[in-house]
């Protein structure tokens, strides 16, 4: 993971641009050396685990708006580079979607990215990322890699030296490429303008921000605005019917990928125009013409809608939505909101509140220096008048820009100070009902303008959907765990002369509940052991497993022989009519005479380790799976069980891995038992599970029962 010590926050100023553009010069020099077309420098804040973008180059900062501030634990290339002190390389659109889906959702364009930590041996100051067009090879060259590391190391040393003599660098002015002069002389420029004005189609020049620097007469006619009213304006702001995020997205795609992009748009009432964008590192040239085959184009063209929102806001919402799809439980939601939302909106602490039994329930919190200040509200009756209970009960957001505003409406709030100066209480409403409240706390007084309140409230809606799913998942998970614990034995009571240890791991897919089971029945004079696997990983399989285990215990208690226990259990399963099958291995243990009698129903064969360390797979006679044939016969096999021998019983989840031969897995298990089979049985059980590739992947339930014969005489 890391080739150095963990990151230590370095001083990073926050405020006015630095007097000398140390970061800008270093970034532009690096981009030039490796041929990148955009990049940014992030600095670690000194007071919190947050990376802040200090300078951006080559592209409008709006492209990276969702990641202006990001938590150090966020799953993003820059944060990964800082945490792990390594170069993070993402070679293209597909790799970005696979490794960093929340970036791919916001910027679904072909481009490559590298992120490198800015660090000395003693301290991490931040990180740099740079991007290349999609035409970049899928791998970094050795030269590019060396340039990136060397430039970031030089910048780290520069920051280390400057820290001793001057204030640390802070945010600097972004660096955008300046337009290249068009022609060599004035006469040439005039003639070029005349030539362009005579063309029958429209030509528009956009800078990197999307502002219009030039438009010929044909373009002005097609757009319906005089050239003088177009200059200096954003294309989609100057022309109302182009004010759609879809069109701005094409501009972003062209700039970021450096590939030609195009779209068609409807100029009211019925004229379809074609826009083709030719990008460079200094801006875009746009060719505008009347679209051909209007009827065909109309079917594919995007439709304009009234009052679309700005794309930056959409980017932030998409980024959070992508992140929240990864949340499983409630604590996942809390952590993702802390990693994604809090840094983006400048919040220094958050709490997520819910309701349970008519009382306030603190589901999770981050950033509070004293956790007791928020945890003391846990269990508060909803009838109490506090901001959290009010918002949770009414579903109406509340914003307090200062401590005075909060205390004016809630005079008792001063009795529980949390050290913060402004708060946003966002109702989390899903399926038409409040499921919780998200509290964002700010260290300084904070003004909440109308547009920010709207964005925060919208983000609350996304958080609510994830929280509702997480609450349901956690409830199912608790149910599954409780059911599983109730159906499996709480402890093993082996007979004299036998030592036992067991392990159970549910599959990682589904509800973490399954049909694998084991048991040890301490009947007299002989004890019995059983292990089995009911097909499926759900409540039905678990319930049937419980019935089989109970049946085996009952048939053993009345003195049935091993083959009779297996036959009776088979008929029981058929009589239940569950349409599920089960494998099973049953043993009658006789340690006093050093033997065991076994019956098998389609179950994987056990392994026997002798006292001398030799291991063999027991080739037992057996019958079909339980639940198939009511008349099935289950023959028995007697096996010698001398003191020091270890029997290893398991379900197929321990040895079956896609793409791996089961015989190879059994050979590996046998070699492990030969090497470490003399360990205490509890330690051996842990090692058997830990060294199983199938158990690590956990595509199936895993049950293991180890039995060691010992001489108690």
504 in the same domain as 617: yes
What mean pLDDT do residues 271-280 have?
A: 87
- Which pLDDT belongs to residue 659? 66
327 in the same domain as 232: no
pLDDT tens digits along 1-48: 334 444 544 444 444 444 467 898 899 889 989 999 899 999 998 888
Pick from 419, 454, 479: which residue ends a domain? 479
pLDDT tens digits along 377-424: 888 888 888 888 888 888 888 899 988 888 888 876 555 568 899 999
Q: Do 580 and 535 contact (CB within 8 A), yes or no?
A: yes
CA distance 113 to 148: 12
Pick from 455, 479, 503: which residue ends a domain? 479
Cα-based angle 455, 459, 460 (whole degrees, multiple of 5): 115
The domain that contains 621 carries what CATH number?
3.60.40.10
Do the domain assignments include residue 157? yes
Do the domain assignments include residue 122? yes
pLDDT tens digits along 198-236: 677 889 999 888 889 888 888 888 998 888 888 888 888
Q: Do 324 and 102 contact (CB within 8 A), yes or no?
A: no
Do the domain assignments include residue 142? yes
- Which pLDDT belongs to residue 312? 39
Alpha helices in 44-87 (DSSP H): 77-84
269 in the same domain as 152: no
419 in the same domain as 512: no
CA distance 220 to 490: 81
Pick from 437, 460, 479: which residue ends a domain? 479
Do the domain assignments include residue 414? yes
Domain that holds residue 689: 488-709
502 in the same domain as 460: no
Cis peptide, bond prior to residue 501, ω within 30 of zero: no
The domain that contains 269 carries what CATH number?
3.30.450.20
Burial class from Cβ neighbours inside 10 Å (0-12, 13-18, 19+) for residue 472 reads exposed
The domain that contains 97 carries what CATH number?
3.30.450.40
Do the domain assignments include residue 11? no
Do the domain assignments include residue 5? no
560 in the same domain as 674: yes
- Which pLDDT belongs to residue 485? 64
424 in the same domain as 406: yes
* Residue 525 CB partners (closer than 8 Å, separation 6+): none
350 in the same domain as 282: no
680 in the same domain as 605: yes
577 in the same domain as 534: yes
pLDDT tens digits along 661-712: 778 888 889 999 999 999 999 999 999 988 877 566 656 778 899 999 987 6
Do the domain assignments include residue 274? yes
- Which pLDDT belongs to residue 530? 93
Number of domains in the chain: 4
Tokens, residue 711: 């001489």
147 in the same domain as 194: no
Burial class from Cβ neighbours inside 10 Å (0-12, 13-18, 19+) for residue 252 reads buried
686 in the same domain as 538: yes
* Residue 355 CB partners (closer than 8 Å, separation 6+): 361, 382, 392, 434, 436
Do the domain assignments include residue 415? yes
Spatial CA neighbour of 106 closest among 256, 243, 237, 240? 256
- Which pLDDT belongs to residue 13? 42
DSSP, collapsed to helix, strand or coil, labels residue 84 as helix
* Residue 69 CB partners (closer than 8 Å, separation 6+): 50, 51, 52, 53, 343, 344, 346
| 3-state per-residue secondary structure call for 163-216 | HHHCCCCCCCCCECCCCCCCCCCHHHHHHHHHHHHHCCCEEEEECCCCEEEEEC
Burial class from Cβ neighbours inside 10 Å (0-12, 13-18, 19+) for residue 473 reads middle
């Amino acid at each position: 993971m890391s080739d150095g010590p963990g990151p230590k926050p370095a001083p990073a100023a926050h405020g006015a641009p630095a007097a000398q553009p140390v970061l800008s010069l270093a970034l532009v020099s690096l981009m030039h050396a490796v041929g990148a077309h955009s990049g940014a420098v992030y600095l670690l804040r000194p007071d919190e685990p947050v990376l802040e973008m200090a300078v951006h180059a080559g592209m409008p900062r709006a492209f990276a708006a969702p990641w202006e501030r990001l938590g150090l634990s966020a799953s993003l290339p820059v944060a990964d580079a800082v945490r792990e002190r390594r170069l993070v390389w993402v070679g293209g659109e597909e790799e970005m979607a696979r490794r960093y889906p929340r970036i791919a959702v916001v910027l679904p364009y072909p481009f490559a990215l590298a992120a490198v930590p800015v660090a000395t041996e003693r301290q991490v100051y931040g990180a740099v990322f740079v991007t290349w067009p999609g035409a970049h090879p899928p791998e970094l060259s050795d030269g590019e890699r060396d340039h990136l590391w060397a430039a970031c190391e030089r910048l780290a040393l520069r920051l280390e030296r400057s820290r001793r003599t001057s204030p640390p660098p802070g945010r600097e002015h972004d660096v955008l490429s300046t337009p290249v002069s068009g022609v060599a002389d004035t006469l040439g420029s005039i003639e070029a303008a005349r030539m362009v004005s005579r063309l029958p189609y429209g030509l528009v020049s956009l800078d990197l921000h999307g502002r219009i620097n030039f438009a010929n007469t044909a373009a002005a006619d097609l757009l319906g605005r005089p050239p003088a009213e177009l200059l200096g304006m954003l294309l989609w702001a100057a022309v109302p019917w182009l004010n759609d995020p879809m069109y701005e997205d094409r501009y972003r795609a062209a700039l970021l990928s450096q590939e030609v992009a195009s779209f068609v748009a409807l100029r009211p009432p019925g004229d379809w125009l074609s826009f083709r964008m030719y990008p460079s590192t200094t801006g875009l040239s746009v060719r505008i013409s009347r679209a051909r085959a209007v009827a065909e184009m109309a079917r594919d063209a995007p439709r304009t809608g009234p009052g679309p929102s700005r794309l930056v806001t959409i980017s932030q919402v998409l980024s959070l939505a992508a992140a929240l799809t990864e949340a499983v439980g409630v604590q996942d939601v809390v952590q993702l909101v802390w990693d994604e939302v809090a840094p983006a909106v400048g919040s220094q602490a958050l709490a997520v509140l819910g309701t349970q039994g008519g009382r306030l329930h603190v589901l999770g919190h981050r950033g509070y220096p004293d956790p007791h200040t928020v945890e003391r509200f846990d269990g508060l009756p909803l009838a109490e008048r506090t901001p959290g209970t009010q918002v949770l009960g009414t579903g109406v957001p509340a914003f307090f820009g200062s401590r005075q505003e909060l205390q004016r409406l809630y005079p008792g709030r001063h009795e529980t100070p949390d050290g913060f100066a402004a708060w946003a209480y966002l109702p989390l409403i899903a399926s038409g009902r409040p499921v919780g409240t998200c509290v964002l706390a700010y260290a300084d007084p904070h003004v909440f303008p109308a547009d920010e309140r709207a964005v925060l409230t919208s983000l609350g809606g996304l958080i609510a959907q994830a929280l509702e799913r997480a609450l349901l998942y956690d409830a199912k998970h608790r149910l599954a765990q409780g059911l599983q614990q109730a159906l499996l034995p709480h402890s093993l009571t082996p007979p004299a002369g036998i030592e036992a240890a067991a392990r159970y791991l549910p599959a990682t897919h589904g509800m973490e509940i399954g049909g694998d089971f084991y048991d040890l029945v301490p009947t007299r004079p002989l004890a019995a052991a059983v292990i089995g696997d009911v097909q499926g990983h759900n409540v039905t399989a678990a319930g049937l497993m419980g019935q089989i285990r109970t049946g085996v215990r009952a048939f053993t208690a009345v003195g049935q022989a091993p083959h009779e226990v297996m036959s009776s259990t088979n008929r029981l399963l058929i009589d239940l009519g569950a349409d599920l099958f089960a494998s099973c291995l049953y043993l009658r243990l006789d340690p006093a005479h050093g033997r065991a009698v076994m019956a098998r129903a389609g179950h994987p064969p056990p392994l026997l380790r002798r006292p001398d360390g030799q291991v063999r797979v027991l080739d037992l006679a057996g019958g079909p799976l339980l639940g198939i044939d009511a008349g099935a016969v289950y023959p028995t096999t007697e096996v010698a069980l001398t003191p020091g021998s270890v029997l290893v019983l398991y379900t197929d989840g321990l040895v079956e891995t896609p793409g791996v031969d089961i015989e190879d897995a059994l050979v590996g298990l046998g070699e492990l038992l030969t090497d470490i089979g003399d360990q205490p049985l509890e330690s051996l059980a842990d090692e058997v599970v830990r060294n199983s590739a199938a158990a690590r992947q956990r595509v199936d339930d895993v049950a293991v029962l180890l039995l060691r014969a010992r001489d108690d005489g």
